[in-house]
Amino acid sequence: MQLLINSNVNVLDRLFCISLLALLFIDVIELWVTSLGMSGAIGPHGVVLPHSIPQTRSEEYLFMPSIHVCQRAKPYLIILVATAPHNRKARQAIRDTWGGEIQVRGHQVMTLFIVGQPSDPVIGKELIEESKERGDLIQGRFIDSYGNLTLKTLSMLGWARRFCPQAHYLAKVDDDVLFNPSALLQYLNLRFKTEENDLTELYLGRVHMQVAPDHNPASKHFMSETAYAGMVFPDYCSGTAYVLSQPALLKLSLAADAISLPRPLYPEDVFVGICAHMAGITPTHSPLFSGSLAVPYGRCCYQTMVSVHHTKPGDMVHYWKEVHSTAPCSWLGVRTSLGVCKIRALLGTLLGKDS
Ligand SMILES: *[C@@H]1O[C@H](CO)[C@@H](O)[C@H](O)[C@H]1NC(C)=O
């Protein structure tokens, strides 16, 4: 009898230890599981890089900061925020928190916003005013709408390639994302300690695997069978926030210029994934990007995450203050907080709370 109780206790102890370890190293487990699911092998490399860089497609910019903005600021990381014309509050929250031109971990970081043309002329005028006042807006020549997000990305890739070749990394971030340049630079420094001139091709974010095209015409993400014939899209990074190194940006945007666009357009992140696939670039998964998951607030968790989606402008300012006005979390603090917020995010999705 005594023996039986003892062995039961042993099993419980072990279970407890395993759960605790799983909680503390949840990001390692996530990386491993993701690596199992990824397509890995890359198909034919569709893109032959020309010797001279061709002019970008018909991208034109109705307004933008000075064309010398990157020559002057020499950003190591440029963050381009995809924003809708009427989201002025979101842009302001970003300027008040992680945006602007800042020095992070010894590197210059610059944040600019990219918009299309609003259908409402009043908003159009306000946007011009805002651009004059702040000098951090780029406007592409296309109607700004959900269905046109891919054009915004094309515009962004073309702009970065042409006007900001100095940047070592480009981050594309949505305007409802709490981004953390310091956490990103820490991650990059740890993982890619390479010589200045020897940047590797990197396409980093939360990787979506084995996503099938949506053939339902009523859906927001409708994709006709003629537009995409494959069973699944190539693995791609969630469009909420992803990072491209300079060489990856160059190859990817050349591939983007070579691709013919179907109607309706590909979803923005799928499009980038297809271009990366054509260019022979595999996405890299990082558990520190939330993707479209809503990650509940935890101070140490938010100190560590690179991107957190679904953040309202007011919350962004509030969280930022709380996260950055306090001392850095301890190793254990980070591990526990990350484990707890990831499990809560996962439960939230399973229970259908995520939109
Ligand atoms: C996308 O932009 C183009 C160019 O401005 C415009 O002709 C088209 O109607 C827009 N499409 C959508 C779905 O808004």
Using DSSP bridges, classify how beta strands 137-143 and 236-245 pair: parallel, antiparallel or unpaired.
unpaired
- The confidence band for 184, taking pLDDT boundaries of 50, 70 and 90, is very high
Alpha carbon of 141 to ligand 1 centroid (Å): 10
Atom of ligand 1 nearest to the CA of 145: 14
Alpha carbon of 264 to ligand 1 centroid (Å): 10
Determine whether the shortest distance from the Cβ of 145 to ligand 1 is under 6 A. yes
Determine whether the shortest distance from the Cβ of 212 to ligand 1 is under 6 A. no
- pLDDT of amino acid 46: 44
Alpha carbon of 96 to ligand 1 centroid (Å): 32
- pLDDT of amino acid 260: 83
Return phi, psi of residue 108, to 5°.
Answer: -80, 135
Determine whether the shortest distance from the Cβ of 152 to ligand 1 is under 6 A. no
Ligand 1 atom 5, closest CA: 142
Alpha carbon of 226 to ligand 1 centroid (Å): 20
Alpha carbon of 148 to ligand 1 centroid (Å): 6
**Token representation of residue 247:** 């060489």
Return phi, psi of residue 297, to 5°.
Answer: -65, 135
Ligand 1 atom 10, closest CA: 143
Q: Contacts by 93-100 with C-beta closer than 8 Å and gap 24+?
A: 93/313, 93/314, 93/316, 93/317, 94/175, 94/179, 94/316, 95/134, 95/136, 96/317, 96/320, 97/178, 97/316, 97/317, 97/320, 98/178, 98/179, 98/180, 98/181, 98/320, 99/136, 100/136
Residue 106 φ/ψ region, left for φ over 0, alpha for ψ in the -120 to 50 degree band, beta for the rest: left
Ligand 1 atom 6, closest CA: 143
- The confidence band for 272, taking pLDDT boundaries of 50, 70 and 90, is very high
- The confidence band for 190, taking pLDDT boundaries of 50, 70 and 90, is confident
- pLDDT of amino acid 4: 57
Note the pLDDT tens digit of each residue in 159-175. Answer: 999 999 999 999 999 99
What percentage of residues in the chain have a pLDDT greater than 90? 63
- The confidence band for 10, taking pLDDT boundaries of 50, 70 and 90, is confident
Instruction: Please state the rounded mean pLDDT for residues 78-103.
Output: 95
Instruction: Please state the rounded mean pLDDT for residues 226-242.
Output: 91
As annotated, the residues of the chain forming the CATH 3.90.550 domain(s) are 59-285
Alpha carbon of 142 to ligand 1 centroid (Å): 6
Atom of ligand 1 nearest to the CA of 141: 5
Q: Which of 179, 153, 175, 172 is nearest to 87 (CA)?
A: 175
Specify the CATH class of 59-285 in words: alpha beta
Q: Note the residue count of the chain.
A: 355
Residue identified by tokens 């095209």 is 213
Q: Which of 153, 135, 143, 67 is nearest to 99 (CA)?
A: 135
Residue ranges of alpha helices (H) inside the chain are 2-24, 26-37, 69-73, 88-96, 121-134, 149-163, 181-191, 246-258, 268-278, 299-304, 313-324, 331-350
Give the least confident one: 49-58, 202-211, 328-337.
49-58
Alpha carbon of 59 to ligand 1 centroid (Å): 14
- pLDDT of amino acid 44: 46
Please enumerate in sequence order all residues whose Cβ is within 8 A of that of 98, keeping only pairs 6 or more positions apart, or say none.
Answer: 111, 178, 179, 180, 181, 320
